[in-house]
Amino acid sequence: MMYSLVHELAETGARLRVPVALTCRVLGFSKQGYYKWLSAGVCQRDWDDAHLANAAIDVHGDDPEFGYRLIADELEHDGYRACERRTWRVCSQNGIRWVITGKGEAKGIVGATDRDRSGPA
């Protein structure tokens, strides 16, 4: 939602401080909705994703060659419940990238065979 923008513009330390009422009116939603969002705090899904991201970073730190599928397997082994798709999303959002190793990496060709490197037949 755009409430985080309203919050950033209304902060006292912001370069250009914009009142909450004005920002909400321009963006087309109510002040009550903003204040409800502000008092609610972090939702459970975001909280769980943060814990999952921390665990994924730990698993990735142990072995950076792990892709999201192997990270998902390790997280399941550690007791976290998350499917591969959710693990992929959390890894993507947090910049967890896996390292591709093999013969093709040295020449910049990932997954190439010896025949591909020799050129046209």
Residue 67 has pLDDT above 60, yes or no: yes
Residue 111 has pLDDT above 70, yes or no: no
* Short-list 40, 41, 45, CA closest to 93: 45
Domain check: are 24 and 51 in the same one?
no
Residue 111 is assigned to a structural domain of this protein: no
Domain check: are 55 and 35 in the same one?
no
Domain check: are 25 and 64 in the same one?
no
Q: Give the number of domains in the chain.
A: 2
* Short-list 1, 67, 3, 66, CA closest to 32: 3
Read off the pLDDT of residues 37-59 as tens digits, 9 standing for 90 and up: 889 888 888 889 999 999 999 99
Write down the pLDDT at residue 87.
Answer: 92
Domain check: are 35 and 57 in the same one?
no
Domain check: are 73 and 88 in the same one?
yes
